């Protein structure tokens, strides 16, 4: 098949990584893949694909001509289908490829309720999505929580929604030790959604309960100064390590990873942690995280995001027996680039019939 993927850039956060792994996985299975980026005129090449960036020098020119550029590129590639990665790319594809006969597959990698918190631009994208998303040939969701959002918020029929698990697994699985350490990990952006301050409060809550916990926070973002000030003012034993892409190298045997987010489309780090042999804690209200862990096996779902309930969940995680590495290995195969590519193939074939 000849496929076209549109994303903002080939280097960046979670959704960008997913888009690149999708492209690599499809190329590895013999498909002719064209990767288009709209936010980087000179994108890093994606292995096995043709990678092209939109050359517009200014944001105004990019907004004005992007849909036409995408339409020309998809036609020249003779694409059998086009896949958008995240909301803006989805809307561009719907505008640019209408009436071309090229099937459009949208993908969302977060709960789109976040859009309403992103100012006027986010609210505008949300309103357009309410009108346009139902016209897509298929909508790809990274979890069942996101899939439900596509149906409830944007009226996409359930028979056009496909769950494509994020390719978050790295392939190597370590056994989980019977004993756990007294160190907690935070891995993620220092942003409102990730709630790093709640992580620090959880550490303090466990200390107040008499547990001699320490913590390592791996990440960066606009809240970094606030978190540093919180750690300094409270005396919380939290080491701030900055962002480390290969964060697993800093993890110790028996650490417990805590993801305090109240909203998550998936939570790649939960799969990555399970492969490292770490127990995890996440908040059940975050919805998408339930697809990225096995409650009671790889970790525990806290009943709410309060520091007290997160601390309760950490205590429960300490009591979990170490899951069988073979079980984790088989479960994590659901989250590989190859598995994602296989599902994407089935979706494209379905929309072509």
The whole-angstrom separation of Cα 198 and Cα 310 is 9
- Structural domain including 125 reads 2-167+336-352
Q: Are residues 22 and 163 in the same domain?
A: yes
Q: Are residues 314 and 188 in the same domain?
A: yes
Q: Are residues 242 and 274 in the same domain?
A: yes
Number of domains in the chain: 2
pLDDT of amino acid 57:
59
pLDDT of amino acid 195:
97
pLDDT of amino acid 117:
65
Higher pLDDT: 57 or 263? It is 263
Nearest to 254 by CA among 175, 321, 174, 179: 179
Q: Are residues 14 and 137 in the same domain?
A: yes
Q: What is the mean pLDDT of residues 158-187?
A: 85
pLDDT of amino acid 60:
67
Q: Is residue 178 part of a domain?
A: no
In angstroms, the first-to-last Cα distance of the chain is 14
Q: Are residues 249 and 230 in the same domain?
A: yes
Q: Is residue 195 part of a domain?
A: yes
Q: How confident is the model at residue 292 (pLDDT cuts 50, 70, 90)?
A: very high
Q: Is residue 117 part of a domain?
A: yes
**318 in Cβ contact with 289 (< 8 Å):** no
The whole-angstrom separation of Cα 106 and Cα 136 is 7
pLDDT of amino acid 120:
80
Q: Is residue 174 part of a domain?
A: no
pLDDT tens for each residue of 325-346: 888 999 999 999 999 999 999 9
The 3-state DSSP class for residue 95 equals helix
Q: Is residue 89 part of a domain?
A: yes
Q: Are residues 83 and 141 in the same domain?
A: yes
Q: Are residues 195 and 320 in the same domain?
A: yes
pLDDT of amino acid 23:
97
Q: Are residues 91 and 239 in the same domain?
A: no
Q: Are residues 294 and 348 in the same domain?
A: no
The CATH number given to whatever domain includes residue 102 is: 3.40.50.2000
**Does residue 116 surpass a pLDDT of 80?**
no
Q: Is residue 131 part of a domain?
A: yes
**35 in Cβ contact with 26 (< 8 Å):** no
pLDDT tens for each residue of 231-272: 999 999 999 999 988 899 999 888 999 999 999 999 999 999
Q: Are residues 329 and 347 in the same domain?
A: no
Q: Is residue 323 part of a domain?
A: yes
Q: Is residue 176 part of a domain?
A: no
The whole-angstrom separation of Cα 341 and Cα 157 is 23
């Amino acid at each position: 098949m000849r496929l076209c993927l549109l994303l903002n850039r080939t280097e960046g956060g979670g959704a960008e990584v997913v888009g690149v792994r999708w492209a690599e996985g499809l190329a590895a299975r013999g498909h002719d893949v064209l990767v288009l980026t709209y936010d980087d005129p000179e994108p890093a090449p994606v292995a096995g694909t043709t990678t092209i960036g939109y050359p517009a020098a200014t944001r105004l020119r990019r907004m004005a001509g992007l849909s036409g550029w995408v339409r020309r590129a998809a036609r020249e590639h003779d694409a059998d289908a086009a896949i958008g990665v995240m909301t803006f790319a989805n809307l561009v594809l719907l505008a640019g490829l209408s009436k071309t006969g090229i099937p459009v597959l949208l993908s969302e990698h977060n709960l789109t309720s976040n859009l309403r918190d992103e100012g006027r631009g986010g609210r505008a994208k949300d309103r357009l999505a309410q009108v346009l998303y139902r016209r897509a040939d298929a909508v790809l969701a990274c979890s069942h929580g996101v899939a439900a959002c596509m149906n409830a918020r944007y009226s996409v029929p359930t028979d056009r929604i496909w769950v494509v698990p994020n390719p978050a697994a790295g392939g190597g699985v370590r056994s989980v030790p019977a004993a756990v350490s007294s160190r907690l990990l935070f891995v993620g952006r220092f942003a409102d959604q990730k709630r790093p301050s709640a992580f620090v409060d959880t550490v303090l809550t466990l200390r107040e309960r008499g547990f001699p916990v320490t913590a390592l926070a791996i990440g960066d973002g606009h809240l970094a100064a606030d978190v540093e000030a919180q750690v300094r003012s409270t005396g919380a034993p939290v080491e701030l390590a900055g962002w480390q892409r290969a964060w697993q190298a800093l993890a110790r045997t028996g650490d417990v990873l805590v993801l305090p987010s109240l909203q998550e489309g998936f939570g790649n780090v939960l799969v990555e942690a399970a492969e490292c042999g770490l127990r995890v804690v996440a908040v059940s209200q975050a919805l998408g995280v339930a697809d990225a862990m096995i409650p009671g096996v790889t970790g525990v779902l806290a009943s709410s995001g309060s520091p007290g309930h997160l601390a309760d969940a950490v205590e429960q995680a300490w009591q979990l027996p170490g899951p069988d590495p073979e079980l984790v290995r088989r479960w994590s195969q659901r989250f590989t680039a190859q598995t994602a590519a296989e599902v994407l193939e089935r979706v494209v074939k379905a929309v072509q019939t």
